[in-house]
Amino acid sequence: MPTHEGGEPSCGPDVPRPEPLRTFFRVDEIRRDGDHVRYVGESYIPERTLSRKLIPKFREAGYDVDVEAVEGGHVVVATPFTQGRSGIPWVNVLMFAATVISTLFVGAYGWYYIGWETITANPLTLLRAWPFTAAVLGVLMTHELGHYVAGRYHGVDVSLPYVIPFVVPFGTLGAIIRMRGRMPSRKALFDIGVAGPIAGLVATVVVTAIGLSLDPIRIPAEVTSTSGTMIRFNNPPLLGLIADLLGQPTTYDDPGLTAHPVVIGGWVGMFFTLLNLLPVGQLDGGHMVRAMLGPRQETVAALVPGALLSIAAYLYFWRGFGIDQSVGLWTFWGVFSLVIAFNGPANPVDEERVGWARVAVGLATFAVGALCFLLVPIEVVSA
């Protein structure tokens, strides 16, 4: 292995060698493994301290970095931020296109009451549901882009949003982004975690206000005259508050009228915000509480599954709701939160406290998120 001036191994002029690597790490060998650069040697300081020293300087050079302990020493692994994001992100594009189609179909059939025969005769009638699609995807994408912008600001390697297509009742299961590498600090963890809910809540309020200001739509007579059961989406307090401020109704005396489907986009934004703010694992709320409280976040997370399962038990045993209603919803999220709580939160390299300003922002975000909660969000009623 050739060496450069000073006796260190060399692997070409493009290999980053920030000063902390020279100061705190003895480099015995430098290897290239595709886009990865591996520095084999021995750390002069504890691994966690070495990571804290290396991350900022490697990020300035455009690399994420991790420290691995191996037999007889350590390996510092540097990975360029651009890895996996060159060219067109086809997976993101195709999933977004599929979700546009699924939300158009669900919106047309389920919320605009366009019959199956009409859709099959002229598929372009699906485009009548574009306001529903724009509302639902608008709040979801704004939420995820909030994370993306905050992640890029802090130099964290984040992906573009992946939107998940589905069927009823909304045509989507939401959206996610992927974060690669270690979180550099609690401040970065907090900012990335809180950016999504704040951006999503702003979009949700705007979409809800627009939907409430639009004229209600008329339910076809053949639907209102049909006996059976239907799913009712109850209004969270935030939706009622927006309606009161605008002086707009959410229900109508005429049973043939219902709120404009754009309002459902606001409902979706509120519901997904509430779920994302659960303080467990790597949900947004988990990131925020981990940043605010440090390792004590896991104590808070341990209480969440029990609380959600208790809500389900209360609705089932004392309120008489069936498992196909909100009981099943809270049971699912109780089990799911248990799984993600078991997997643990993101652990930042720098454990410096976030400061009272960020704590205040976090508490305010949780307070607004609490206005999105209601005990029975979904109810099956007789038509």
Q: What is the mean pLDDT of residues 164-169?
A: 88
- Closest to 305 (Cα-Cα) out of 279, 272, 276: 279
C-alpha span between 29 and 50 (Å, rounded): 18
pLDDT band at 11 (very low <50, low <70, confident <90, very high): low
45: which DSSP letter? Answer: S
Q: What is the mean pLDDT of residues 365-370?
A: 97
Mean confidence (pLDDT) of the chain: 88
- 62: its two tokens: 């455009």
CA 201 from chain center: how many Å? 13
- 319: its two tokens: 């309120």
The residue behind tokens 């690399």 is 63
The residue behind tokens 């306001």 is 131
Instruction: Give phi and psi for 233, each to the nearest 5.
Output: -100, 110
C-alpha span between 205 and 223 (Å, rounded): 30
Q: Are 208 and 241 in contact (CB under 8 A)?
A: no
- 351: its two tokens: 């454990």
- Three-state secondary structure string covering 303-332: HHHHHHHHHHHHHHHCCCCCHHHHHHHHHH
Q: Which of 150-164, 199-213, 333-347 is the most confident on average?
A: 199-213
- 72: its two tokens: 């007889």
Helix or strand run (H / E) with residue 145: helix 130-153
C-alpha span between 150 and 361 (Å, rounded): 15
Partners of 233 in the β-ladder: 378
pLDDT in tens, 51-70: 878 887 887 777 878 888 88
| Helix 262-276 vs helix 130-153: crossing angle, to nearest 10 | 30
Per-residue pLDDT, 3 = 45
C-alpha span between 112 and 128 (Å, rounded): 8
| pTM metric for this prediction | 0.83
Asked if residue 230 has pLDDT above 80, the reply is no
Q: Are 290 and 284 in contact (CB under 8 A)?
A: no
How much of the chain exceeds pLDDT 90, in percent?
Answer: 55
The residue behind tokens 């639902």 is 136
- Closest to 179 (Cα-Cα) out of 203, 153, 148, 201: 148
Instruction: Give phi and psi for 249, each to the nearest 5.
Output: -80, 155
Per-residue pLDDT, 290 = 96
CA 48 from chain center: how many Å? 28
Q: Are 36 and 77 in contact (CB under 8 A)?
A: yes
3-state helix, strand, coil in the chain (%, to 5): 55, 15, 30
Asked if residue 221 has pLDDT above 70, the reply is yes
Partners of 163 in the β-ladder: 175
Looking at residue 302, its amino acid is A
